């Protein structure tokens, strides 16, 4: 069993990277990837912990991408996390997130819900503050009865406390991941909210600029969707990946690492083609004249 999509306290997860590795071993997972939102700061710690736990640990990232419809995220695996292009993109995204957080705070206060930046920031982990932390602060103040209510009434897209943020194009995200010696994988394609034909066209266009895989196995994918995405990956010549999108207690607490809502199981035989794709990407980067630090 694999779990190639999870989050730590470096973004909006509730467990530290070392704790993720411990839970993975206890769960019987063979390989994991840390795919925090817009940051790779926890990947070295995960790698160290995985070596101690006897697991395969992969550096990863999840980048929010601009999309005309639905929600589009791009997963990166096996990158050189010190590569200059990748670091610059993630720094820009995080700076935009910081500006967004201040706008969200202003909107929430304007709605008559008193929150301070200090109390929201105190609920975050080592790095990134996001909407889940605003939801938690609102819950602790008694303004709402659940975190879901915070998004349904205030923080979700189109709601009075929502603020959009900086996003790069799918093409730019794929390019930066590839230039860092990694592979790009389309995360949870169901969230693109596209018809079958439109999704195929989108995936074919992404593959033309370097997309390597599709996240076929995901807790919210139905059996029919899983079958559709597997056939799409095969038809376009992409690898398949999967993961639980585990966050821990803070976001979707019903999701268990490796098992999702209970039925998820990412098969071990996906690991070999994934590692082969990463190895090919690294060799291609070396052949292109890029060194370990990401500079020519």
The predicted-structure confidence for 177-190, as pLDDT tens digits, reads as follows 999 999 999 999 99
CATH of the domain at 105: 1.10.150.650
Number of domains in the chain: 2
Position 268 in a domain: yes
Per-residue model confidence as pLDDT tens digits over 238-292: 999 999 999 998 778 899 999 999 999 999 999 999 999 999 999 887 666 554 4
**What Å distances lie between residue 157 and 15, 53, 104, 131, 150, CA to CA?**
27, 40, 12, 11, 12
Say whether both 187 and 276 belong to one domain: yes
Detail the DSSP E strand segments found in the chain.
2-6, 31-34, 56-65, 72-77, 183-186, 211-217, 239-242
DSSP strand pairing (31-34 vs 239-242): unpaired
Q: pTM here? A: 0.84
Phi, psi for 250 (deg, rounded to 5)? -80, -45
Say whether both 176 and 54 belong to one domain: yes
Say whether both 149 and 195 belong to one domain: no
Position 238 in a domain: yes
CATH of the domain at 44: 3.20.20.140
Say whether both 77 and 198 belong to one domain: yes
Position 250 in a domain: yes
Q: What integer pLDDT is reported at residue 286 of this predicted model?
A: 65
Say whether both 132 and 244 belong to one domain: no
Position 164 in a domain: no
Helix, strand, coil proportions of the chain in percent (round to 5)? 45, 15, 40
Give the residue-averaged pLDDT of 13-30: 95
Q: Which of 122-126, 131-135, 151-155, 270-274 is predicted with the least confidence, judged by mean pLDDT? A: 122-126
Give the residue-averaged pLDDT of 75-86: 96
SS3 215: strand
Per-residue model confidence as pLDDT tens digits over 231-242: 999 999 999 999
Structural domain range at position 143: 100-155
pLDDT tops 80 at residue 296: no
Position 253 in a domain: yes
């Amino acid at each position: 069993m694999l779990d190639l999509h999870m989050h730590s306290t470096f973004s909006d997860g509730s467990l530290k990277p070392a704790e993720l590795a411990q839970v993975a071993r206890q769960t019987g997972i063979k390989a994991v990837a840390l795919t925090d939102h817009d940051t790779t700061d926890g990947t070295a710690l995960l790698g160290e912990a995985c070596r101690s736990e006897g697991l395969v640990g992969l550096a990863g990232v999840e980048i929010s991408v601009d999309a005309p419809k639905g929600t589009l995220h791009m997963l990166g695996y096996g990158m050189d996390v010190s590569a200059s292009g990748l670091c610059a993109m993630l720094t820009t995204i995080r700076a935009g997130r910081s500006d967004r957080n201040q706008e969200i705070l202003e909107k929430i206060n304007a709605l008559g819900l008193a929150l301070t930046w200090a109390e929201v920031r105190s609920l975050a982990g080592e790095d990134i503050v996001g909407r889940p932390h605003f939801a938690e602060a609102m819950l602790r103040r008694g303004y709402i009865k659940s975190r879901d209510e915070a998004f349904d009434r205030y923080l979700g897209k189109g709601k009075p406390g929502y603020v959009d943020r900086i996003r790069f194009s799918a093409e730019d995200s794929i390019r930066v991941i590839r230039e860092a010696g990694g592979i790009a994988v389309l995360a949870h394609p169901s969230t693109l909210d596209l018809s079958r034909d439109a999704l195929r066209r989108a995936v074919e266009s992404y593959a033309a600029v370097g997309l390597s895989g599709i996240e076929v196995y995901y807790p919210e994918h139905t059996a029919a969707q899983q079958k559709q995405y597997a056939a799409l990956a095969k038809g376009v010549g992409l690898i398949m990946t999967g993961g639980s999108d585990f966050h821990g207690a803070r976001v979707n607490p019903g999701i268990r690492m490796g098992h999702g809502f209970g039925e998820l199981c990412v098969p071990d035989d996906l690991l070999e083609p994934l590692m082969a794709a990463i190895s090919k990407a690294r060799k291609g980067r070396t052949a292109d004249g890029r060194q370990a630090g990401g500079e020519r």
